[in-house]
Amino acid sequence: MDEKINLTEEEKQKIIELIKNNQPLPKEYIYKLYKDQEDVFLFWNGRSENVTNVVLPFHSIEYIDEPRKEEGLRIGSDDLQFGLDLELKGKKQTDWTNKLIWGDNKLILSSLVNGPLREEIEKQGGLKLIYIDPPFAVGADFSYEIKLPNGEINKEPSIIEDIAYRDTWGRGISSYLSMMYERIKLMHQLLAQDGSIYVHSDYRTIHFLKILLDDVFGNEYFRNEIIWIYKSGGATDKYFSRKHQTILFYSKGRNPIFKIQKEKSYMGEDYNTGNKNVVLYDDNDGKGKYTLVNTKDWWEIGMLATSSKERLNYPTQKPEALLERIIKASSNEGNLVADFFVGSGTTPAVAEKLGRKWIACDLGRFAIHTTRKRMIEVQRQLKKEGRPYRPFEILNLGKYERQFFFGISSDLPQDIQKKVLQKKQQKYIDLILQGYKAEKVEGFKLLHGRKHNRYVHIGPLTVPITKTLVEEVFEECQKNLITQVDILGFEFEMGLVPFIKDELKQKGVDLRLRYIPKEVFDQRAVEKGEVKFYDVSYLEAEPIIDGKTLKIKLKNFVTYYTQDDIEELEKKMKNDSSKIAIEDGKIIKITKSKEGITTREVLTKNWQDWIDYWAVDFNYESKKELIRIRKNGKNDKNENEYEQVWTGNYIFENEWQSFRTKKQPDLDLTTAPHTYEKPGRYKIAIKIVDILGIDTTQVIEVKID
């Protein structure tokens, strides 16, 4: 029997009139339209059943499969001094490469669900467990503390993170539900039939998420509402202290992986059960006797103390004990688990220690960098203890994400993509000029705009700016007697900064290389003038060669970051306050006294203060970056749908690294020695991640006799 709309003729006419006059429908009409279909219909302003199904290829930008040996390095010394070489015996497992992905989790999830990596996931038995700790509506979740030798500063979120926050909460709970609904539907598709999801939240959003999860997974697949209780935080005299958060546990199917966990149930000092089947234990810790019982749905696990060894000064970090309980209960050793709001990296850290495979992603650059350092430390520890560990790679969506933002589908054949891009070239240039606040200029081949007294060249959308292109821009400047130009690009060929500094600047043209940020594709950020372009940094490294052995000594790091107008900040500051500014490669603390007197203190005293992490690939160009893309733009599902192609880039294989941690805030400035098997010419890549989380890579060539 056909379903009929449960409306009177009068109501139907009323709806038609409202639609004709472009007026909103009263909610009661919307509910009546679905009255006979569902008892309860989950509706919010902006709800859409459409789910992203775009497939963007993943770029592998770094591969870490061998944590460096701990060789007793003397921190900060000019020459490396060696102590006892620790024997590390942990076995590297190569049946799966763990994945740490930087980008929008909606695009990442869609590409995992619909793309070639799905086959790899299914070969591992499918995705068995997802844990997510999405935003709680507690303010922008992307700020963090930066430690400096002269103190610490609070790093505000990047524009793209701030935009994500506004997209999530801009219309209140309706925009939050739209954001979460699409992502949870994609996660549901990606989960194995015997998989589970744990969604972590608190009183602000948990009631909304419960209804949303019922809608996607089905109420019959609800397993538990877990209450995580703790003693710290939440003290107030206005209401009962808030001492818990909530984790919702759902399964994909009726028979998920689930292993009963046991916990201690204390009986008291003098308790003595008469039941011989009940085993009593005593740890002799003064707490008395206990028996082991099935874990309850309320978990008393302490929040991370300020002094905790786990603590990384990441605002949303959760204790490892919490994730350990979840991962042990809903996955087996060797299973694949995932976290799509990874934050500080607790999920992959615990998964690695428990012998699970993992996928983790985050929009925040600093979250990815924090997780990278944490996972290297986990690798080191497991290897030291003689336990197995797996390599991991850092992925992003690269130029394909930029094309997607610009409306060019990666499903199209390559030649068609190029033609579409050519047609949109002027629109692309106009967009970048607007974001850079530059005016358009005519009559030049390669100069597209001017900002104040500097001309501007806009680099290509999909390929790096090369030395050849820089030379062509330079020649046009010389021909037209132009002495200052900014070259803007998404990627730059390695070695451009020293080439410009050592060769071109001496010839009368001041060229400046600046990165185009992804947020330039968000019209709101452009219109508000919020898009920040930042300078390409430059590093100097010295190779120290002794026969077939090589060490790399880091000698300098030069940056010209400017993100603030100090004079404007000072004007807006209130008395008895302080702010942090970044200008011309310096982090400056501005203080205004009670009397209105302003002082400035440079916190970055030397070039080493800018460096948080550096790593070396001793044989760069030994591993080509291969990606799988759709054949001829076809969308049909078959085994030959994808082909493997070389991107023209190489994967940075992280063979040695030094980075700052809470326990070890200093850096080694010279690598351990690396011995080559045979003589020849080798390219060495040196990567620096600065305290803002931005990468700089330099390649040098050496001859080994």
Question: What's the whole-number mean pLDDT along residues 337-344?
Answer: 95
Model confidence over 111-142: pLDDT tens digits? 999 999 999 999 999 999 999 998 764 444 44
H-assigned helices in 59-116 = 105-114
- Supply 351's token pair: 């998964």
Residue with tokens 């500014």: 581
Structure confidence at residue 640 (pLDDT): 53
Q: How far apart are CA 434 and CA 449, in angstroms?
A: 10
Rounded distance, CA 364 to CA 662, Å? 20
Instruction: Return all residues near 392 (Cβ < 8 A) that are at least 6 apart.
Output: 63, 64, 65, 97, 98, 99, 100, 348, 375
Architecture of domain 406-531: 3-Layer(aba) Sandwich (3.40)
The token pair at 590 is: 């501005």
pLDDT for 76: 35
Q: Phi and psi for 118 in degrees, rounded to 5? A: -60, -40
Residue 144 — pLDDT band, cuts 50, 70, 90?
Answer: low
pLDDT at res. 407: 81
Mean pLDDT value of segment 504-529? 82
* pLDDT digits 0-9 by tens, 242-269: 899 999 999 999 999 999 988 888 876 5
Q: How far apart are alpha carbons 325 and 350 in whole angstroms?
A: 10
For residue 634, give the DSSP letter.
-
CATH class, range 93-257+296-402: alpha beta
Indicate the residue type of 460: P
pLDDT for 39 beyond 50: yes
Find how far residue 115's CA is from the centre of its chain: 20
- Helix axes 425-436 and 414-423, enclosed angle (nearest 10): 60
Q: Alpha-carbon torsion 351, 352, 354, 357, what sign?
A: positive
| Structure tokens, 113 | 């669900």
Give bridge partners of residue 254 from the DSSP assignment.
none
For the segment 218-235, what is each residue's pLDDT rounded down to a tens digit? 999 999 999 999 887 667
Any idea how long the chain is? 705
Q: Where are the domains of the chain?
A: 1-41, 93-257+296-402, 261-294, 406-531, 538-704
- Name the token pair of 227: 């209450």
pLDDT tens per residue across span 165-200? 555 555 567 888 888 999 999 999 999 999 999 999
198 neighbors 330 (Cβ within 8 angstroms) = yes
pLDDT digits (tens, 9 = 90+) for 151-164: 565 555 554 455 55
* H helix intervals, 198-301: 206-217
Helix ranges, 197-242 (H): 206-217
Q: Which of 338, 284, 369 is nearest to 108 (CA)?
A: 338
Contact between 544 and 550 (Cβ < 8 Å): yes
Residue 592 bridge partners (DSSP): 577, 598
**Residue 93 contacts residue 161 (beta carbons within 8 Å):** no
Give residue 81's pLDDT band: very low, low, confident or very high (50, 70, 90).
Answer: very low
Half-sphere exposure of 50 (CA within 13 A, CB side): 4
Structure tokens, 491: 């990627």
Q: What is the pLDDT of residue 159?
A: 46
Residue pair 558/538 in contact (Cβ under 8 Å)? The answer is yes
